[in-house]
Amino acid sequence: MSAAVLILGLCPLMAASITYTVTGTLGPVLSGSDPLGANGESGTLIATVSTTLTPTSKTKTSATYTLPAGAITVNIGGTVYGTTGTSTLKYTLPSTGSDTMVFTTNVSLLGFTGTVVGTASLAKGSFTSAVLKHPQKFTPSPQTLTPAKKASGAGSKVEYTVAILGSTTLGISGSASN
């Protein structure tokens, strides 16, 4: 009779993951008509990201990662909007200004397929340059979010687009954590 030996090790498929949570109060409306009535409501975006992902696109100061279906959850005013298909997460580390995370996902909004883009503007130096090779946590955590003052400007914001109703951009004040 021979004995079987079981060797346990770290399996690359059991990689660590990071859960980012961006939560706060949506508003003011920076552009659009806000058909969801999200202005003044609570908003939460939760993303679970594997630390073994590699960028699907990259520049000197940014990296974009493709996230699997279901990696992002969106809650606006207490309503959870189901995500459909893959999502993306883009980290940007500009030479001046804030480090940012931009989450983009497709959702079912008002019976139509729509897109939600959440931008979390973090303190400069929140990430090391290693985030351009693999996702990582930011420090310190949590951080207070300052809402954008313009739809195309700096700051934290949420944009949602519904095909026949157009796009709405709102600031978000609250916090981001991992």
pLDDT in tens, 97-124: 999 999 999 998 777 889 999 999 999 9
Q: Is 103 within a domain? A: yes
For residues 50-89, one letter each, b for 16 or more C-beta atoms within 10 angstroms of the residue's C-beta and e for the rest, the string is beebebeeeeeebbbbebeeebbbbebeeeebebeebbbb
| Greater pLDDT, 19 or 162 | 19
Q: Is 4 within a domain? A: no
- How many domains does one find in the chain? 1
Q: Is 140 within a domain? A: yes
Q: Output the pTM of the full model.
A: 0.90
Write down the pLDDT at residue 108: 84
Write down the pLDDT at residue 81: 86
Backbone angles phi, psi at 96, to 5 degrees: -130, 155
Total number of residues shown for the chain = 178
Q: Is 109 within a domain? A: yes
The helix/strand count (H/E) of the chain reads as 0, 12
Q: Is 5 within a domain? A: no
Q: Is 59 within a domain? A: yes
Backbone angles phi, psi at 33, to 5 degrees: -100, -5
Write down the pLDDT at residue 15: 62
Q: Is 171 within a domain? A: yes
Ramachandran class of 30: left when φ > 0, alpha when ψ lies in -120 to 50, beta otherwise:
alpha
62 is written with which tokens?
A: 């940014």
Write down the pLDDT at residue 119: 98
Alpha-carbon distances of 74 from 11, 103, 132, 177, rounded to whole Å: 31, 11, 25, 15
Reduced to 3 states (helix: H, G, I; strand: E, B; else coil), residue 130 is helix
Q: Is 75 within a domain? A: yes
For residue 67, what are the domain limits? 13-177
